[in-house]
Structure 1
Amino acid sequence: MTTLRTNQDLDPAALRQAFGVFPTGVVAVAAEVDGALTGLAASSFTSVSLDPPLVSFSVATTSKTWPDLRRSSHLGVSVLADHHDEVCRQLAGPVDHRFDGIAVSISENGAVGLDEGVAQFDCTVYREVEAGDHIIVLLQLHAVTDPGTGNPLIFHRSGFGRLADTA
């Protein structure tokens, strides 16, 4: 039998390790802001509602990218494909090089989608909710691409993986 830890045992390293056992997909959230491609990678993406159509992701309150990104009238959210592990690392790297060599499409509203993403959404900020050291961002969907047949990139135990072939 495993002993349940008490709240005095909830140090950040233990929490990160425990949270990491739950696999998640990874998305790029991006827009053209002041003529420059701006974006970040998030592993906290989830569907929220069909009516109205809403999704969410979380971003650290210390993010230097989110204050710029949120100024765009529309945001693109791209579900990263299972071969995008390096793209994900790049999107988390130096701001000036996040989109180097990455094929993107830009909507007339400034939403940026990764051309090889498994699915792409055009969104606007619906609401932001402060939640500890993060902000939960609720996005309202305005358009979605045909998801196609690719598989998503999986983030699990602080590393990237792929879905097992179920065919």
Structure 2
Amino acid sequence: MPVDAREYAAALGQYAAGVCLLTVQDDIDDVGTTVSSVMSVSASPPLVAVGLTAGGYPAEVLEEVGRCALTVLATEHAIVASRFSSAGRPSARHLLEAVPWTRAAGSGAIVLEAGLAALDCRLERLVEAGSHVLAFLTVEDVPVVNPDARPLLRLRGRYVDESGRPLARP
């Protein structure tokens, strides 16, 4: 018997996941998207996997450019995560007007200075996986590490702090 899509989504919603911002700089603009499907694949070589919507613009631009950055978001970035998860969003730079950021040396992609960490990456390959693609990324640099920052998590469809409490609206 096939699994009910709502039950499947509800079950996976019970799993708290860190929230990241994936950014790509191409010749035209900066593109970004919120992602919570990120996992460490290998320490040697340093490799991570990120789930992206198949056929989505971020996956398309990443495939074309071949480089990106991932910022692990802090609780203070809940509004940033919401902005980058919305459809029809403008340029990444416009969504970050009041947020301190810099560019990663290798990819030139935006990284948030107050994130928990940031990874400067090169695309190894994209693998089709149902309605998504897995982007396997080689980590070439770690331009940001803030061990005292508080993590932003996604749990039961909401952004929460490390204790699981929903974050107050700004």
TM-score, normalised to structure 1, is 0.86
Give the counterpart of 1:112 among 107, 110, 113.
110
Give the counterpart of 2:26 among 11, 25, 33.
33
Answer whether contact 2:29 2:91 (CA < 8 A) is retained. no
For the structure 1 residues 11 and 62, does the alpha-carbon distance in structure 2 shift closer, same or farther, using more than 3 Å as the test? farther
Give the C-alpha shift of residue 133 in structure 1: 1.1
Match in the other structure for 1:14: 7
Alpha-carbon distance in structure 2 between the residues aligned to 1:103 and 1:137 = 27
Does residue 150 (structure 1) correspond to residue 144 (structure 2)? The answer is no
TM-score, normalised to structure 2, is 0.85
**What amino acid sits opposite 1:106 in the alignment?**
R
Mapping for residues 1-167 of structure 1, pairs under 5 Å: 7-8=1-2, 10-93=3-86, 94-100=88-94, 101=97, 102-108=99-105, 109-148=107-146, 149-164=148-163
Give the C-alpha shift of residue 146 in structure 1: 4.7
For the structure 1 residues 28 and 110, does the alpha-carbon distance in structure 2 shift closer, same or farther, using more than 3 Å as the test? same
Please provide the CA RMSD for this pair: 1.8
Alpha-carbon distance in structure 1 between the residues aligned to 2:55 and 2:72 = 23
1:130 match: secondary structure: strand
Alpha-carbon distance in structure 2 between the residues aligned to 1:141 and 1:65 = 18
Counting helix residues as a fraction of each chain, which structure ranks higher?
2
**1:45-70 alpha-carbon deviations (Å, 9 max, x no partner):** 11110011001110111412220233
For the structure 1 residues 23 and 77, does the alpha-carbon distance in structure 2 shift closer, same or farther, using more than 3 Å as the test? same
Give the C-alpha shift of residue 97 in structure 1: 4.9
- Greater C-alpha radius of gyration: 1
**What amino acid sits opposite 1:156 in the alignment?**
L
For the structure 1 residues 146 and 61, does the alpha-carbon distance in structure 2 shift closer, same or farther, using more than 3 Å as the test? closer
**What amino acid sits opposite 1:127 in the alignment?**
R
Answer whether contact 1:123 1:140 (CA < 8 A) is retained. yes
1:110 match: secondary structure: coil
Alpha-carbon distance in structure 1 between the residues aligned to 2:156 and 2:120 = 29
Give the C-alpha shift of residue 36 in structure 1: 1.0
Answer whether contact 1:81 1:153 (CA < 8 A) is retained. yes
Q: Percent identity?
A: 25
Q: Where do 5+ consecutive residues of structure 2 fail to align?
A: 165-170
Give the C-alpha shift of residue 112 in structure 1: 1.9
